[in-house]
C-alpha cells in the first residue's frame, strides 16, 4: 500500500457510543489494523470487560493476564500489559480480562477515579512502546470506564450505525463529552464520526447518512463502512477483516477510512458538538 503520513504527535482516540452493537470494537480493531498495514505502530486498548477487541485480535485475556485492569490500578506498566498481535508487529493490544467488570464499581472509591487511565498513559509510558496511534475501545455505557477513556484521549471517534434511532442517545454522549472537556480534559474534541453497517439497499440508510452529515458536517468521514458479512465473520477467527479477507468490501472500506483519518490529521474538522 501507499504510505500514509506518520502523525507529528501521537494520536489517541477514544471510540465511544453508549449504544451497544454500533461498531465500536469492529472499528477500533480494523482501523488499527489498517494503519498497521501502512507501517504505523498502533495500539488498541480494550476497555470493555467483555474483551471483544482482545478476542478479535486473538490476544490472551484470561483472568490474571496483565491487562488494562492492572494498568488502571497502577500495578503494571502500559508496556508490561501490551501484547503484540500475530497479525502484525505494528498492531499492539492491551487486553481486557473479566477482572475489569468490577472496575466500574471499584473506581468509585478510588482517588482520581476519572483520571486513572490518563496517569498510566503518560508520554513516557507511550514512548516505551513507541506508538503512533492509540484506539481505546469503550464499553457500551457512559460510566467511569468511558469517562477514564475520555480523560485520557485527545480525540473522540463516534461510530454511528446507519439505522433507525441512530441519533438517539447521542445527545447524552455529546453532553458528557462537553462536561469532560470543561472540567477534566480541555483538549478533548469529537474529531471523527464514522458511519457503519451501511446497507445501500435501504432508503433509511441514506436518510440516516444525510441526517448525520447535516448535524456534524466535516467531522463525518466521507468513507462509509458497508454492512459486510466478512467483517462479522473475522473475529471468530481471531482476525481483523484485513487479514481474514483483504479484498472484501469491509476490509477496503476500513483501509479507506484509516487513510482519511491519517491524511486529514488531528485538527481538520475537529470540534465538540451538541445535538
Ligand atoms: P460495539 O463494539 O459497538 O458493541 P461491534 O463492533 O461489536 O459493536 O459490532 C456489533 C456486531 O456487528 C458484531 O457482531 C460485529 O461483528 C457486527 N458488525 C460490525 N460492523 C459490521 C459490518 N460493517 N458489517 C457486518 N457486521 C458488522
Ligand atoms: Mg464493543
Q: How far is the CA of 112 from the centre of ligand 1 (A)?
A: 33
Architecture of domain 11-264: 3-Layer(aba) Sandwich (3.40)
Give the alpha-carbon dihedral of 246, 252, 258, 259, to 10 degrees: 110
**Per-residue pLDDT, 267:** 64
Nearest CA to ligand 1 atom 4: 21
Q: What is the pLDDT of residues 246-267, one digit of tens each?
A: 999 999 999 999 999 999 987 6
The answer to whether the CB of 52 is under 6 A from ligand 1 is yes
Residue 221 is placed in which grid cell? 468521514
Buried b (16+ CB within 10 A) or exposed e, 93-114: bbbbbebbbebbebbeeeeeeb
190 neighbors 220 (Cβ within 8 angstroms): no
* Complex ipTM value: 0.99
Q: What is the pLDDT of residues 142-165, one digit of tens each?
A: 999 999 999 999 999 999 999 888
Is a pLDDT exceeding 60 seen at residue 242? Answer: yes
Is a pLDDT exceeding 90 seen at residue 274? Answer: no
Q: How far is the CA of 124 from the centre of ligand 1 (A)?
A: 34
Q: How far is the CA of 20 from the centre of ligand 2 (A)?
A: 7
Q: What is the pLDDT of residues 179-195, one digit of tens each?
A: 999 999 999 999 999 99
Angle between helices 249-264 and 24-37 (to 10 degrees): 70
Segments in 23-109 forming alpha helices (H): 24-37, 52-56, 68-73, 78-81, 103-106
Is a pLDDT exceeding 60 seen at residue 273? Answer: no
Residue 205 is placed in which grid cell? 440508510
Sign of dihedral through CA atoms 86, 88, 90, 92? negative
Is a pLDDT exceeding 70 seen at residue 275? Answer: no
Share of the chain above pLDDT 90, in %: 89
Three-class DSSP category at 42: strand
Please give the residue that has the higher pLDDT: either 269 or 163: 163
User: In angstroms, rounded to a whole number, what is the distance separating the alpha carbons of residues 98 and 119?
Assistant: 22
> For a pocket test of ligand 1, which of 18, 19, 20, 21 has the largest count of ligand atoms closer than 8 A to its C-beta?
21
Q: What is the pLDDT of residues 113-131, one digit of tens each?
A: 999 999 999 999 999 999 9
**Per-residue pLDDT, 169:** 85
**Per-residue pLDDT, 163:** 86
Span 2-14, average pLDDT? 90
Is a pLDDT exceeding 60 seen at residue 139? Answer: yes
Three-class DSSP category at 269: coil
**Per-residue pLDDT, 15:** 98
Amino acid at each position: 500500500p501507499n504510505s500514509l503520513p506518520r502523525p507529528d504527535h501521537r494520536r489517541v482516540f477514544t471510540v465511544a457510543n453508549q449504544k451497544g452493537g454500533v461498531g465500536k470494537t469492529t472499528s477500533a480493531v480494523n482501523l488499527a489494523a489498517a494503519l498497521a498495514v501502512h507501517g504505523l505502530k498502533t495500539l488498541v486498548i480494550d476497555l470493555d470487560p467483555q474483551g471483544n477487541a482482545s478476542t478479535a485480535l486473538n490476544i490472551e485475556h484470561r483472568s490474571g493476564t496483565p491487562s488494562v485492569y492492572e494498568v488502571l490500578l497502577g500495578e503494571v506498566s502500559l508496556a508490561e500489559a501490551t501484547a503484540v498481535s500475530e497479525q502484525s508487529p505494528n498492531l499492539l493490544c492491551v487486553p481486557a480480562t473479566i477482572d475489569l467488570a468490577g472496575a466500574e464499581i471499584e473506581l468509585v472509591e478510588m482517588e482520581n477515579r476519572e483520571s486513572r487511565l490518563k496517569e498510566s498513559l503518560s508520554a513516557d509510558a507511550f514512548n516505551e512502546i513507541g506508538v503512533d496511534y492509540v484506539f481505546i475501545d469503550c464499553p457500551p455505557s457512559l460510566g467511569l470506564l468511558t469517562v477514564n477513556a475520555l480523560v485520557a484521549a485527545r480525540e473522540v471517534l463516534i461510530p454511528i450505525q446507519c439505522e433507525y434511532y441512530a441519533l438517539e442517545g447521542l445527545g447524552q454522549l455529546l453532553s458528557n463529552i462537553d462536561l469532560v472537556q470543561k472540567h477534566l480534559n480541555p483538549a478533548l474534541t469529537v474529531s471523527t464520526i464514522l458511519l457503519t453497517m451501511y446497507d445501500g439497499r435501504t432508503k433509511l440508510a441514506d436518510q440516516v447518512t444525510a441526517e448525520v452529515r447535516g448535524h456534524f458536517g466535516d467531522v463525518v468521514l466521507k468513507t462509509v463502512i458497508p454492512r459486510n458479512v466478512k467483517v462479522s465473520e473475522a473475529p471468530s477467527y481471531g482476525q481483523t477483516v484485513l487479514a481474514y479477507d483483504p479484498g472484501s468490501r469491509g476490509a477496503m472500506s476500513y483501509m479507506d477510512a484509516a487513510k482519511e483519518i491519517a491524511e486529514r490529521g488531528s485538527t481538520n474538522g475537529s470540534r465538540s458538538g451538541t445535538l
